[in-house]
Amino acid sequence: METLVPLWRSHERSFQGNRYVYPVLSRRAGGISVGVNLNPDKGCNFDCVYCQVDRTPAGMEGVEPLHRTVETGRLLDELQTLQKSIRAGDFFEKPPFEAVPVPLRRMSDIAFSGDGEPTVVPEFPDILKTVADFRNATPGLSSVPIRIITNGTGLFKTRIRTSVRETLFLEEPLPRTDSPGTGEILDEVWFKIDAADPVSFSRIDRSTQTFDRYRKSVLETLRDLPVTLQTMVLDIRDPRKPFRPEGLWAEAMRDWVTTLQKEGTRIRQWHLYTVARKPPSPEILAVSAERLQNLADFFRQSVSCPIAIFP
């Protein structure tokens, strides 16, 4: 698995001239995750301290900063071509994916994730439906879940939540059409919460939303949609103001997730992960597997959903 480290770490979003669709080897999805990037303009309403999307002037060179309507036809063509290539196996004949071991040579999900926040893109509900219809109607894809990887803010709008609920199989599994009777799949929303107190929120997520409003909206959203929580765990090596997750941050996270569970939300799982790719600043550091495990054990004392760690 050592030889796979560069692939785990690579989340290169350019692939064969594609604009929207790109493959990555995903640790958490356990195979080739086919990403759908609705933000080639790198638009996001957060400015996470660990975000690897380069939005410096140099990183924005050649990028059209204004949001342009997503070309649905092109997106579908790219998705179809990549899916066929993975299925036929020729995808694994070329570098860097030739290094992927046989058990991981499968399409593990279609993930709405990219250079910004997908749920705030105006075309998001329509594109989600188009992609879901394509997945549902394509036999080779009927065992592949759709995942929305999100900071959650677009889902704060009831209209967007309703479209996600009506389009995806979040509660009622989708029966497999390629081999009936062999199981079902569930789609997922991977909803990130990186901080449960206002100081950490403004330090880690650097959003313009007020924390009180954010917290209230998260509760409202999680009451409406079943989600998998995702939390980035990191150190900030700032000599003036160092940050470590142990202590106040961890206590606030534990208390908030425990409260969310008591308030009628349906949190299926909680993923704790750390910095795997090159962070934008040398001050941002990954935490060790041991520390992630210790934090998970600490949360398990009062949080009842399964907690998985991804060092």
Residue numbers at the binding site for ligand SF4 (CB under 6 A): 44, 46-48, 51, 53, 116-117, 151
- Tell me how far, at minimum, the Cβ of 44 lies from ligand SF4, in Å: 3
For 246-300, give the DSSP string. TTHHHHHHHHHHHHHHHTT--EEEEEEEE--S--SSTTEEEPPHHHHHHHHHHHH
Taking the C-alpha atoms of residue 180 and residue 232, their distance in angstroms, rounded to an integer, is: 38
| C-beta of 44 vs 287, nearer to ligand SF4 | 44
| C-beta of 51 vs 222, nearer to ligand SF4 | 51
- Tell me how far, at minimum, the Cβ of 47 lies from ligand SF4, in Å: 5
- Tell me how far, at minimum, the Cβ of 125 lies from ligand SF4, in Å: 19
| C-beta of 42 vs 135, nearer to ligand SF4 | 42
Taking the C-alpha atoms of residue 111 and residue 44, their distance in angstroms, rounded to an integer, is: 17
| C-beta of 52 vs 261, nearer to ligand SF4 | 52
- Tell me how far, at minimum, the Cβ of 191 lies from ligand SF4, in Å: 11
- Tell me how far, at minimum, the Cβ of 21 lies from ligand SF4, in Å: 17
| C-beta of 114 vs 145, nearer to ligand SF4 | 114
Burial 196-230 (b: 16+ CB within 10 A, else e): bbeebbebbbebebebeebbebbbbbbebbbbbbb
Place of tokens 């009451």: 223
Question: In terms of Cα–Cα distance, which of 166, 152, 173 is closest to 48?
Answer: 152
